[in-house]
Amino acid sequence: MAVHVISPGPRTFRDRAEAGHSLAEHVRALAGPGCVVLAIPRGGVVVGAALAADLDCDLDVVIVRKLGAPHNPELAIGSVMEGAESPYLNSGIVRALGVPQSYIEAETRRQQAEARRRAELYRKDRPKVEIEGRVAVLTDDGVATGATMISSILGVQAARPAKTIVALPVGPPETVDEIGEMADEVVCLATPALFGAVGQFYVDFAQTTDEEVVELLQQFDQAVRRRPAAGRRPATGRPA
């Protein structure tokens, strides 16, 4: 398990697409041909689409929902992945806030329902990409507590990929190190010690909508259809 930090200081990205293209430069040699990029909606899909286009590989979404803290929904006390029965919990934050079990159970049910809704919306007739035996590259527009990414890693590893790579534009050093203990490889472009929120490292960090995610996936699939079929994996169910 290795963590590749490109810059230990801060870095500012023009937008999520630029971050994805920048990641491709450092992920390509680690991932090799035939990998699959798995992006966490919503903003992560913008990063993932640029990354997958540069790597000339398949793209899919990983639906994970953050469990928000009581009275502070932006603070993650954990997360739950699409189809999972139980959540990943950040036990330190749960203890520090004294979050009751009844709240955790109710918030988990609420986010499981939202995960199902988003999966139906984003995929529609689009089949899941095959992961087993392939190099899986998980990406998002950044991490803070890492709860969503950790839940994603656990879910993806259950599908038995050949290797799990996490590709991140930015994240605090301690979170990136924690993720590095779970993934085979981590590539992070910047790990600033003074970390407030992911958005502070982007010029344009406008919220990505569900409609934009659907459009990005459709545009990516249309681009795939126009490419030569040689070297691609037809097992995804997408037309070559």
Query: How many residues in total does the chain contain?
Result: 240
pLDDT tens across the length of the chain (240 residues): 799 999 999 999 999 999 999 999 999 999 999 999 999 999 999 999 999 999 999 999 999 888 999 999 988 898 888 888 889 898 999 999 999 999 999 999 999 999 999 988 998 878 889 899 999 999 999 999 898 899 899 889 988 999 999 999 999 999 999 999 999 999 999 999 999 999 999 999 999 999 999 999 999 988 887 776 544 444 443 332
Question: Quick one: fold of 2-64+129-234?
Answer: Rossmann fold (3.40.50)
Give the start-to-end residue ranges of the domains of the chain.
2-64+129-234
Q: 125, 55, 118, 115: which is closest to 85 by C-alpha? A: 115
Determine the residue type at 9: G
Q: For the CA atoms of 61, 195, 202, 14, what is the dihedral angle to 10 degrees?
A: -100
Closest CA to 225 of 119, 139, 140, 126: 126
Taking residue 231's Cβ as centre, other Cβ atoms within 10 Å add up to: 10
